[in-house]
Copies of this chain bind each other. A is one copy, B any other.
Amino acid sequence: MPLSLTEVPSGQKVFDWFIPDEWNIKDAYLITPDQRKIACFTDNNLHVVNYSVPINTNIGFEELKAHLHTLPDLPGAIPYVTSYYENNWGFCLDYHTYQTLPEHGAYHAFIDSTLAPGSLTYGEAVLEGESDEEILFSTYLCHPSMANNELSGPLITAFLYRELKKLPSLRYTYRFVVAPETIGVIAYLAERGEHLKAKIKAGYVITCAGNPAPFTYKRSRHGNTLADKAAEYVLHETSNGRASVLDFFPYGSDERQYCSPGFDLPVGSIARSMYNTYPQYHSSLDNKEFIDMGTLAESVSMCEQICRVLEADEKYLNQIMMCEPNLGRRGLYPTLGGRNITNQDILSMNWLLNYSDGNHSLLDIARLSRVSIRELKEIAEKLVNAGLLAKINSVASLVGYRTKLPE
């Protein structure tokens, strides 16, 4: 994915925030009184609290303890800890190692880091479509070594980009954003927020979508936007009832910014095991073994199917509104009537013709009829060729699933 990068300098105000200094680190470790070298940054970057200030000092255990982080409930795991907005330093250890630490004697704590003006980086890629109306995919890149709650998002987004780029044409323009969570997206919205407010038709935050658990879709703040309709339609069609759909709640990932009341964009969130709901979350156990490539591919496919639904979701107008058109003389209806004359193509034609009244898009008709939008689209094109439907400008309407259809 050919990301164009934007650098936002430290100290710049972005809405209510300031871009912090840039943190860089070369090495870090602890030397125990019995001369073991532990918590080596070079073994695992999680050993150092992210954004730790430099330190190079001898220190007793009592004082050191306040700077050590462990997970007694997951004794083999190194926790993931950050201190972005306060000068601090610390080491993260698995609890087994922590238990071997002598209480007496001098430790040596060493962190060779710098915290100095620099810049925050975010990346953006755009696939131009026929329309300047946009679909957004946003993910984050700021939890080094986390797999599900980090790597999964950029991987899925990048592969989705590749799949969409293969398509011969796109109706919508697709925008892909990779930024540090929270501050990165705030910086991004400070730059692009007004543009998105004007252009975005649907958007999704991709997070924690690499572990083999069923999908979770978290609705946009309005709960019935085009983003929600399309995602729920695809989940409904593909998940055999195993996916969860949650109403919006104002904590979680970057939908917090996209759905802050001043933006209130049609942005939902696609995940599998959501943040905070799995024990490996924010620890060294959220690693490559916790995710797998098949699952990631399936997540890419889910996103692609949502895009295909959005692409397909045209609106047509029936050209013969008074009574049904005569399908037979246009070769669209069997000439021999009897039992079972109503094959699925003809039922689909009926749905399209009756509901292409200016108020219903293909996605609406798919939800009413339980015929797939792909099939409806094919049939709709036949009906356009026969002069029975005409494509009109799409407007999202709000039709619910039907509860009851005849057997």
Contact residues of A with B, CB < 8 Å? 14-17, 49, 69, 71, 79-86, 88, 90, 182, 185-186, 189-190, 193, 221, 245-247, 249-251, 256-257, 259-263, 274, 276-277, 281-283, 318, 320-326, 328-329, 335-340, 342, 346-347, 350-351, 353-357, 369, 402-407
Contact = CB atoms under 8 A, between A and B. Distances in A.
Given A257-B323, A321-B260, A355 B83 contact: no
Given A247-B403, A247-B404, A69 B338 contact: yes
A397 to B, nearest CB: 14
Contacts of A404: 245-247
Given A261-B318, A277-B407, A322-B260, A329 B85 contact: yes
B15 A320 contact: yes
A219 to B, nearest CB: 10
Contact of A321 (B261, B274, B277, B350): B261
SS class of chain A's interface: helix, strand, loop or mixed?
Answer: loop
A246 B356 CA distance: 21
Given A250-B351, A262-B323, A350-B250, A337 B82 contact: yes
A354 B220 CA distance: 13
**Copies of this chain in its oligomeric complex:** 3
A15 to B, nearest CB: 5
A249 B17 CA distance: 54
6 contacts: A16-B326, A80-B339, A81-B336, A81-B337, A245-B404, A251-B346
Nearest to A194: B322
A210 to B, nearest CB: 19
B246 A354 contact: no
B247 A402 contact: yes
Given A69-B338, A336-B83, A260 B15 contact: no
A140 to B, nearest CB: 13
Nearest to A259: B354
B336 A406 contact: no
Contacts of A16: 320, 323-326
Contacts of A402: 247
A406 B274 contact: yes
A86 B85 CA distance: 80
